[in-house]
């Protein structure tokens, strides 16, 4: 894990589960390399293949007992049939508490430097069912592939605010953030020796009044952007992230 610079909140991820008949939302810390859904299944004693539905992601800005700032991304799942209970049980505070999350993880000695990333991506559509995609620029991972708008959540930033900002920067569109669709995680080594672990969250995004797609960011990771029909998307070279998002979009079609 990278060490936070002075004034920068330490980053934490937790996973929580809404269960049938429950009056609270148990949860556990997601350590480097762990899958959030697997973490919460183990925490409450569910079978590894128990289906869970992602419900929400909450961003909490808090402080550890020593005064250190903490940025906590809390991923909330539900067991089948328990989804409706979330609004009533989610207001009482989620555990683990910031005090439980105060300590940094222990990094193995001699191992490669660790980088942790929490990213928010949008499955962005317009009223006609077109899909908004961005083209990854040269010099960035998966360059030349079409990607979902979105990216990393900055320290102190809410996941929905981050996604809205990224959609504007990458495509010039003003989107309404909708439901959380899915959550995934992956771990890989990048050339240069970094051990990288990322949690990705995917939201539905509607652009009610679409305009011509245009890249607003300068010298960023986006080379181009555009609106595509589903038939046109089938002929594009997609990033891994975009393939995941499109699978969910087509599954709902």
Give the CA angle between residues 240, 1, 106 to the nearest 5°: 130
Buried b (16+ CB within 10 A) or exposed e, 90-122: beeebebebeebbeeeeeeeeeeebebebbbbb
Average confidence score pLDDT of the chain? 90
Strands 194-206 and 114-125, sheet pairing = parallel
Q: Which CATH code, of 3.40.50.2020, 3.40.1160.10, 2.40.160.10, 3.90.79.10, is assigned to 116-252?
A: 3.90.79.10
**Both tokens assigned to 125:** 């559509």
> What average pLDDT does the segment 231-244 reach?
94
210, pLDDT greater than 90: yes
The region of weakest confidence among 99-103, 104-108, 182-186, 205-209 is 104-108
Strand runs labelled E in the chain = 10-18, 27-29, 52-63, 69-79, 114-125, 131-136, 146-147, 150-152, 176-190, 194-206, 222-228
The region of weakest confidence among 2-11, 80-89, 129-138 is 2-11
Q: What is the rounded (10 degree) CA torsion for 157, 160, 161, 164? A: 140
User: What pLDDT, on the 0 to 100 scale, is given for residue 91?
Assistant: 61
Which CATH architecture describes the domain 10-101? Alpha-Beta Complex (3.90)
- What lies within 8 Å, CB to CB, of 49 at 6+ separation is none
Strands 27-29 and 10-18, sheet pairing = antiparallel
Residues 26 and 36 sit within 8 Å (Cβ to Cβ) = no
- What lies within 8 Å, CB to CB, of 153 at 6+ separation is 59, 73, 118, 119, 120, 159, 162
252, pLDDT greater than 50: yes
Per-residue pLDDT band at 105 (split at 50, 70, 90): confident
Identify the burial level of 248 via C-beta atoms within 10 angstroms of its C-beta, where 0-12 means exposed, 13-18 middle and 19 or more buried. middle
178-206 pLDDT, tens digit per residue, is 999 999 999 987 656 788 999 999 999 99
Count of C-beta atoms within a 10 Å radius of residue 229: 11
pTM: 0.91
26, pLDDT greater than 80: yes
Residues 118 and 73 sit within 8 Å (Cβ to Cβ) = yes
55-90 pLDDT, tens digit per residue, is 999 999 998 888 889 999 999 999 999 998 888 876
Measure the CA–CA gap between 226 and 144, rounded to whole angstroms. Answer: 14
Q: What is the rounded (10 degree) CA torsion for 108, 102, 79, 119? A: -70
Per-residue pLDDT band at 119 (split at 50, 70, 90): very high
Q: Where are the domains of the chain?
A: 10-101, 116-252
244, pLDDT greater than 80: yes
Q: Residue 117's closest CA among 165, 144, 152?
A: 152
Per-residue pLDDT band at 253 (split at 50, 70, 90): low
> What average pLDDT does the segment 142-163 reach?
96
Q: Would 10-101 and 116-252 be classified into the same CATH topology?
A: yes
């Amino acid at each position: 894990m990278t060490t936070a610079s002075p004034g920068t909140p330490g980053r934490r991820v937790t996973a929580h589960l809404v269960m049938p008949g429950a009056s609270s939302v148990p949860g556990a810390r997601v350590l480097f390399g762990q899958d959030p859904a697997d973490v919460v299944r183990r925490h409450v004693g569910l079978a590894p293949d128990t289906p869970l539905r992602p419900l929400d992601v909450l961003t909490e800005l808090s402080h550890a007992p020593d005064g250190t700032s903490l940025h906590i991304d809390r991923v909330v799942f539900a067991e089948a049939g328990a989804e409706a209970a979330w609004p009533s049980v989610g207001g009482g505070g989620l555990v683990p508490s910031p005090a439980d999350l105060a300590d940094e993880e222990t990094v193995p000695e001699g191992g490669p430097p660790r980088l942790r990333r929490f990213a928010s991506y949008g499955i962005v559509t317009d009223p006609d069912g077109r899909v908004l995609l961005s083209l990854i620029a040269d010099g960035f991972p998966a360059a030349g592939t079409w990607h979902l708008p979105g990216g990393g959540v900055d320290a102190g930033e809410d996941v929905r605010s981050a996604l809205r900002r990224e959609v504007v920067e990458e495509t010039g569109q003003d989107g309404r953030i909708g439901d959380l669709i899915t959550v995934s995680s992956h771990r890989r080594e990048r050339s240069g020796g970094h051990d990288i672990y990322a949690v990705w969250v995917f939201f539905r995004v509607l652009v009610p009044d679409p305009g011509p797609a245009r890249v607003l960011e300068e010298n960023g990771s986006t080379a181009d952007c555009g609106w595509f029909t589903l038939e046109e998307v089938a002929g594009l070279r997609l990033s891994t992230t975009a393939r995941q998002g499109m699978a969910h979009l087509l599954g709902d079609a």
